[in-house]
Amino acid sequence: MLQENSSFMKGVRKADKIVGTIVDWLAIILLTFIFILGIAQVFWRWVLNNPIVWSEEMIRLTYVWVCYLGWVIAERSDSHIRITAISSRLPVSVQKWLQAFCHVLCIIMCVLMVRYGIDLIKEGMKRTAISFPMNYAVVYLMGPICNALLVIYEIAQLIECFVKGPRDYSDKGGDEQ
């Protein structure tokens, strides 16, 4: 069994922190880029009467990357929406197997998305954006990268589920009290 303070676990936590920081900053930079480009697009179109023809497509393609990064951020912090009205009332041993089953399903889906995402990248190499010279493979590259990260996070959560037990997703407060 892996010891909590082993050098391997310290390395894993350090790598997770580095990858997490990169993902967070990339999401911030891309969201800032979308915001600035959107403001510039409105200014050029309505004030200067000379629209930036490539801005809408660039915003749309950048948004694809932001969505994938958001998925990784939510997975890393285990903050995806979930409905636990029934599962939280089950015995802990059943909750553990239900959570493990959900992690396995997510791993399978992400592995398939990596597999077919690679095919999509190959197809994207044949296409370029309409309004500026960018290969669609660049856009599609985010799918396999983020899904590979998701597989790693799901495996870590699956291991945690068996080592520490199922996570408690019962409400800790809110409007329904």
What string of pLDDT tens digits covers the 177 residues of the chain? 556 667 777 777 888 888 889 999 999 999 999 999 999 999 988 888 888 888 888 898 899 899 999 999 998 888 877 777 777 777 888 888 988 999 999 999 999 999 999 999 999 888 887 888 888 888 899 999 999 999 999 998 888 888 887 877 766 554 444
State the pLDDT at residue 49.
Answer: 84
Domain assignment present for residue 174? The answer is no
Residue (of 130, 27, 71, 46) closest to 38 by Cα position: 46
Residue (of 166, 149, 158) closest to 114 by Cα position: 149
Domain assignment present for residue 168? The answer is no
Domains identified in the chain, total number = 1
Domain assignment present for residue 37? The answer is yes
State the pLDDT at residue 8.
Answer: 73
Residue (of 82, 100, 78) closest to 153 by Cα position: 78
State the pLDDT at residue 70.
Answer: 92
State the pLDDT at residue 176.
Answer: 44
Domain assignment present for residue 95? The answer is yes
State the pLDDT at residue 174.
Answer: 45
Strand locations in the chain (E):
none
Domain assignment present for residue 177? The answer is no
What residue numbers bound the domain in which 75 lies?
A: 7-163
CB 162 within 8 A of CB 97: no
